[in-house]
Structure formats: C-alpha cells, structure tokens
Structure 1
Amino acid sequence: MNPQQLAKKLFIEKFHRTSTLTTYAPGRVNIIGEHTDYNEGFVMPCAINYGTAVSGAKREDKIFHVYAAQLGQYDKFRLDQPIEPNTQYKWTGYVRGVIKFIQERCPNFTQGADLVITGNVPLSAGLSSSASLEVAIGKFCQQLADLPLTDTDIALIGQKAENQFVGCQCGNMDQLISALGQQDHLLIIDCRTLETFPTPIPSNVAVIIVNSHIKHDLVSGEYNNLRRQCESAAKFFGVKSLRDVSIAKFTEKLSELTALNAEIAKRAKHVITENQRVLDAMEALQQGDLRRLGKLMSQSHQSMKEDFENTVPEIDYLVELAQKAIGEEGGARMTGGGFGGCIVAISPINKVEQVRKMIADNYERRTGLKEDFYVCTASQGVNVC
C-alpha cells in the first residue's frame, strides 16, 4: 500500500470519518551540487519515488489535530493562537513551522483540520524526509483554504520553517525539488534566481541510492557550522555569497585566505569548484557522457571528503564499492548534508545487479551495518491525490 492509500485508510481509523483531501510530496536525491544551495549556487537533484502523504478533512473549529503514523504520535494546536514549538516531538516543528509561516503570508488562514501523515522516505538518511513533509503540509493547507500560494512559495515557506522554527540552516534545494520535481528528469536549479532546467535521464541509466545506516541529525550543529564558515569566506571575498567567486579569483586569493584560516579556505574551495561541477555535469548528461559524469561525481566526493570534511568512513567505503562495480560507465558519491546517510550512484541499468552484489558482499562484513539498496525513479513533485 502506498503512503497515499495508507494515509486515507488510517484517517478513517483514527478520526472515524473519510478524508476529503490528500497531498503527496516526494523525497529527493541530489546527483551533484552539495552545500551549494545556501551559497546561492547550482544543484542537480531529482525527486524520488518515496515520499510523504498527508490526508485529512476540515474541522468546525480552528484546531489542527495531527497524527504521525510512522511514530504513533499526535500533535494538537490552535491556529487562532501564536504557534509555538512542541518540545516533546521533533517532527511537530516541521508541521507547526510551515503553518506559522503560511499564516505570516496569509493571516486569515485559521481553518482547523484533522490529518494523518504517512511516509516511506527513510528517516535521517539524507533523502529529505523533512522537506517532503514540509511541502506536503504546505500543499495541504493551500488546498484546504484555497490560499494564493504557488508550489515555489510553498517550497520557500518550508525552507523558512526549517531555518527559523526547527533551527537547521539548510538551503532551498530540498524543498524546491520536492515541490517542482519532474517525472523522468533531473532538475538543475539555480538557487539564486530559482530558475529550473529539466534534464532527461537517459532510459538506459539507473539512479541508485544506498543507505549506510549511519544516521545524521543536521540540527545538531555541524551543518550550521559549515554554513557559517561559507559565509565567512564570502565576506573575505567581499561578495554576497560564494556563488560570486570564480575559480580564477579563488586561486588568486587562496594563499591569503589559507594564511587567515585554512579550514575556511577548504570549505570555500569545495563550494566554488562544486558549482562548476554541476554545470559540467549538466552538459555531460545532455551529451549522454556517463564517463564524464562519473568523473565529476568522483571529484565531488573527494572534495567533500578532503575539503568539506563531511563524509564518514562507512560512506567512503560504499562509494568505493559502487565505483568499483560501475567502472568508468558512471559514478558514485555521498549525497545529502553529510556525516552519514546515503550515497547516490549513476549506473547503466545492466550494471545495477553488479553494484548490489558488490555492496552486499562487502559492506556489512567491513562495518557491521546492513545497507538498504534502492533503485529510484525520478518522480513528479508535490501533487493532490
């Protein structure tokens, strides 16, 4: 049973009536362009065929009564009173934060509802379960009260909720791809202008995700610290963001910045070179050049390992195994914020089983952890079911 059907079924069980509205928003995997979004750069994600469903119906009062099925937990709050965090359950911040900032845009939104949330995006795996929840809730509210919000508006409200209500200083990529994803396409996103450039995935190419089962929590500090370091680097160059620093300019000033702060120089190097890799990867994909795309993905991973320092040994080992199985016909790299989570691999379809076997035969033996292996389909963004 898919999340949409399960949410409808559970709504009847929990609230003893039939839901009238169901929304669904996908998780995402980022092929290349890590930590470039909050530096106003370029990213290349796709929405995946795992996501979050929200099913519900209006109430006669101004209360939101929410049931999170995977966790077996409820949350209840009023829309005609200031919305404050519920410190008991972390997931409630994504729901309350989105509704708080929807009210900021649409002050008359006080329509209560009962709703059920279900999803099948692996949690704490770097596949944006939080963004898919934010976007699904945003779309539910927009449809519930016929609010004048576009899907891009909903994505940016989701980002704001995560930044200002939950406390993770993420960029806008996760919410944008969850809202705007296109079937069978990767989406190049210019995170400054919000322009999107759909790029078809060749029919003979598989998008593979492997979950390391090293869980990460981006609110815990590392992610926000990386962002602060990038902002310090932009300040050094006298620009709004690292998007505005060319590789030539960076090279010219590298020794000066390194002398000032070697760690910040490394962070800047990753972001500035990664932006260029995304543009090069778009070109490689359009030309069907998997060999070049694979090399760019490998360079991206090395840059995260050495310059951004946000990989872990288990992730590095998964990348090594996947790359060994794929050879030169594709690539693998860490995906997501880092410090655990998943790798993504681009591979010819006829090599998928080799990749699966290589990882199954070696990863658990080395690490004591059993991986999850997914072959994903690039999917449509948020929708009403």
Structure 2
Amino acid sequence: LKSMGYSQIQVQLSDLSKKPEEEGTSTALIRGIAAKFADMGVSLSGWDAYSTSEVLSGSGLSSSAAFEVLVGTIIDQHDNGGKAGAVEIAKIGQYAENVYFGKQSGLMDQMVSSVGGFVWIDFADTEKPVIQKHTFDFAQAGYCLCITDTKGSHADLTPDYVAVPTEMKQVAAYFGKSVLREVSAEQFRKAIPQLRKTCSDRAILRAAHFFAESERATAEAKALEDGDLSAFFALVRESGTSSAELLQNLFSCQKPTEQAIPLGIWYSKQFLGEKGAVRVHGGGFAGTIQAFVPVEEAEAYCQCMNQLFGKGSCHKLSVRPMGGVRV
C-alpha cells in the first residue's frame, strides 16, 4: 500500500505474526487486519493499492480508525465477498490497533468510521453493539460543523489516553466489575467516600463523567431525532464542560503550559456567543476542537481560527452518510 506523502508499505501474507518492531506503525495495522481475516478463515490473495486522504493525521480526527476501515474494507471486498460488513470490520480494526499497533483504543472511532453518518451506539455487548443511525441535516438547519486543528500532536500522548480507561476500570474494580457500564450511577454515587480509599480523586471524577456522558449521549440522539437543535447544542456544551472539569482531557499533564485546546474553545466561545456550540473533539489532550457554527458565519469563524492557529487550521466539514464502501 502506498499512501500519498508516505513511504510504501509491504506486508508478506506468508507471515502474519505480530512484529514488536512494527508497533505504532501503519504496517502493524495492515498486518493485524490481515491476520484477523486469516484467523476467520478468509483466503488472502494480496493486492496493491494507492491511497489519498484529507483526514489530518495525529490530530484527533480518527485517522488510524479511518485507515483501518479502508484496509479492512478492501480485504473484505477483495477476498471475502463483502461478508464481514461494517460492524465486523470495525472490530477487526480495533483488534489490529490493540494487539499489533499497541494502542488500547476502544471501538467507537472504528465503528463510526465503518458505519458512517451520525450514530448512537450502545456498547453493553461489544460483540454485538446496538447501532442507531441518524440522518439529521445540519446544513439544512443552518449550521456548519467546523473542525479546527490546534496543531498539537497526539503522537506522544499514549500514556494520557491509556490512563483514562485504566482509571475508570479501577473504579469498576471496586464493585467487582470489569467496566463501569456494569455499575449503576446510584451505586457509584453512594460509594464515593469509600472509593477515595482505593482510587485517586481523578479516577472518581472521570467515572462521574462516564455516567453523566452516557445519559447525555442518549439525550443528544433524542434531540436530533426530535429536530430540537437548541436542546442538542445545550447538551454538547454540557458535554464539553464535563470533559474539561471531570474527564480532564483538554491538555496533557506532561505539558501543562501547552493548552491550545482550552484556548481554542475559549476563543470560539467569544466568537459564537450564545449561538451553536463548541467542545474538544476526539480523545483530547491535544489536536482538534469541533464547533457548530451558523452557516452565514462559518467563513468568518474559520478565518478567526486560522489567525489563531495558522493558515489551513480550520476545516468546514459535512458528515458522510456512509462508511467504508466499494464504489
């Protein structure tokens, strides 16, 4: 596979074992995806591909998930008759990222990239996630989704990302559970004084974010379904505040003086006032922010962000209704 602007990658299908020296590389992702398909009994015949992309690498726009879905979709279509489908391809991408690439990502980025559109996902059973697609048209409603790259790289922030699920699982372990989804919000609230004896304050705050955010996601989906944009924006703002105060993923503790995301959010709020909404985008700590901006003000907003973070930082996007597909 040759991606424009990057070196060519070659993977020998005769050896799909994990290579420690490949951890953190695109080669590891391709090898891991191919290995998973092979484990599923798919006979791999190999292919050559050239790819181009407008997804910003290492900026919180799920570039690794998009890449995994691309490779998974090619293999599924080329060697498997398209039998795996979007959900399975997402899980295969997560496997490659966890086992071969060496990053303990969840399944959300891969699932959204693979399924496409606005989606509400329930991960209670990660083997069979419940997915609901929403087709709300923000452009028709008079708003544009703007993503601004604050120019902070995600490349060296793996410890920050890993700490989030690790700390949440520490809280879950207090209740004898593996993940917080298996704990009720009421159980959690009642146990907070005792939790401080075994978990850090930050872990407790992050768990509090989890419970509130789970409820918010469902409420956001309902707001879109009802066409209630003001309710949706209010929930997005609440979510952003919770990310800042509870999840604490707006900047890295490793680099406390580098706070481009908080700066971008504050600057955006000065521009938007009571209109639309702005919050951190993706995993946070560095990278991008998202803003829902009135269409008539989108160009001025982008100019404002470009002045702050450099030319080409702000992008006006639309949400593609489909994920990985063969054209």
Alignment TM class, shorter chain as reference: 0.7 to 0.9
Match among 250, 255, 265 for residue 311 of structure 1: 250
Per the alignment, in what secondary structure is the counterpart of residue 76 of structure 1? Answer: coil
Deviations 1:274-304 (A, max 9, x none): 1111112222223333333233222222222
Q: 2:44 & 2:325 partners in 1: Cα distance? A: 22
Match among 214, 226, 236 for residue 174 of structure 2: 236
Deviations 1:333-382 (A, max 9, x none): 10111211111112332332342244345x24xxxx55611111110211
Match among 75, 79, 84 for residue 145 of structure 1: 79
Q: Which residue identity is paired with 1:376? A: L
Judge conservation of contact 2:280–2:288 (CA < 8 Å) in 1. Answer: yes
Greater length-normalized contact order (CA 8 Å, ≥ 6 residues apart): 1
Q: Which residue identity is paired with 2:72? A: G
Q: Residue 292 of structure 2 aligns with which residue?
A: 346
Judge conservation of contact 2:16–2:34 (CA < 8 Å) in 1. Answer: no
Q: 1:85 & 1:93 partners in 2: Cα distance? A: 7
Relative to the length of structure 1, the TM-score reads 0.75
Q: 1:290 & 1:326 partners in 2: Cα distance? A: 15
- Establish whether residue 119 from structure 1 lines up as the match of residue 53 from structure 2: yes
Per the alignment, in what secondary structure is the counterpart of residue 81 of structure 1? Answer: coil
Q: 1:274 & 1:226 partners in 2: Cα distance? A: 14
With 286-295 and 124-133 compared, the bigger mean Cα shift is at 286-295
Match among 204, 210, 213 for residue 265 of structure 1: 204
Change (3 A) 1:134 1:90: same
Deviations 1:113-135 (A, max 9, x none): 22223222100011111111111
Q: 2:235 & 2:99 partners in 1: Cα distance? A: 34
Q: 1:141 & 1:76 partners in 2: Cα distance? A: 15
Q: Which residue identity is paired with 1:281? A: E
Per the alignment, in what secondary structure is the counterpart of residue 232 of structure 1? Answer: helix
Q: 2:228 & 2:185 partners in 1: Cα distance? A: 24
Q: 2:105 & 2:303 partners in 1: Cα distance? A: 34
Q: Residue 319 of structure 2 aligns with which residue?
A: 378
1:1-385 equivalence runs, <5 A: 66-71=1-6, 73-85=7-19, 87=21, 90-106=25-41, 108-147=42-81, 148-182=83-117, 186-193=118-125, 194-199=129-134, 200-202=136-138, 203=140, 204-217=142-155, 220-261=158-199, 262-312=201-251, 313-361=259-307, 363-364=308-309, 372-379=313-320, 380-385=322-327
Q: Which residue identity is paired with 2:325? A: N
Judge conservation of contact 1:85–1:92 (CA < 8 Å) in 2. Answer: no
Change (3 A) 1:96 1:296: same
Deviations 1:94-151 (A, max 9, x none): 1111111111112x52312222232221000111111111111111111111353122
Q: Which residue identity is paired with 2:100? A: F
Q: Which has the higher strand share?
A: 1
Overall identity of the aligned pairs, in %: 25
Judge conservation of contact 1:131–1:174 (CA < 8 Å) in 2. Answer: yes
Q: 2:36 & 2:43 partners in 1: Cα distance? A: 11
Q: 1:168 & 1:87 partners in 2: Cα distance? A: 14
Per the alignment, in what secondary structure is the counterpart of residue 87 of structure 1? Answer: helix
Q: Which runs of 4+ in 1 moved over 6 A?
A: none
Judge conservation of contact 2:233–2:277 (CA < 8 Å) in 1. Answer: yes
Judge conservation of contact 1:274–1:300 (CA < 8 Å) in 2. Answer: yes
Q: Residue 255 of structure 2 aligns with which residue?
A: none
Change (3 A) 1:322 1:346: same
Per the alignment, in what secondary structure is the counterpart of residue 187 of structure 1? Answer: strand
Q: 1:91 & 1:219 partners in 2: Cα distance? A: 17
Change (3 A) 1:80 1:343: same
Change (3 A) 1:373 1:329: same
Change (3 A) 1:137 1:224: same
Relative to the length of structure 2, the TM-score reads 0.87
Per the alignment, in what secondary structure is the counterpart of residue 9 of structure 2? Answer: strand
The aligned length equals 310
In structure 2, the gaps of 5 or more residues are 252-258
Judge conservation of contact 2:16–2:31 (CA < 8 Å) in 1. Answer: no
Per the alignment, in what secondary structure is the counterpart of residue 8 of structure 2? Answer: strand
Change (3 A) 1:360 1:74: closer
Q: How many Å apart are 1:166 and its aligned residue?
A: 0.7
Q: Which residue identity is paired with 1:94? A: L
Change (3 A) 1:178 1:327: same
In structure 1, the gaps of 5 or more residues are 1-65
Judge conservation of contact 1:179–1:382 (CA < 8 Å) in 2. Answer: yes
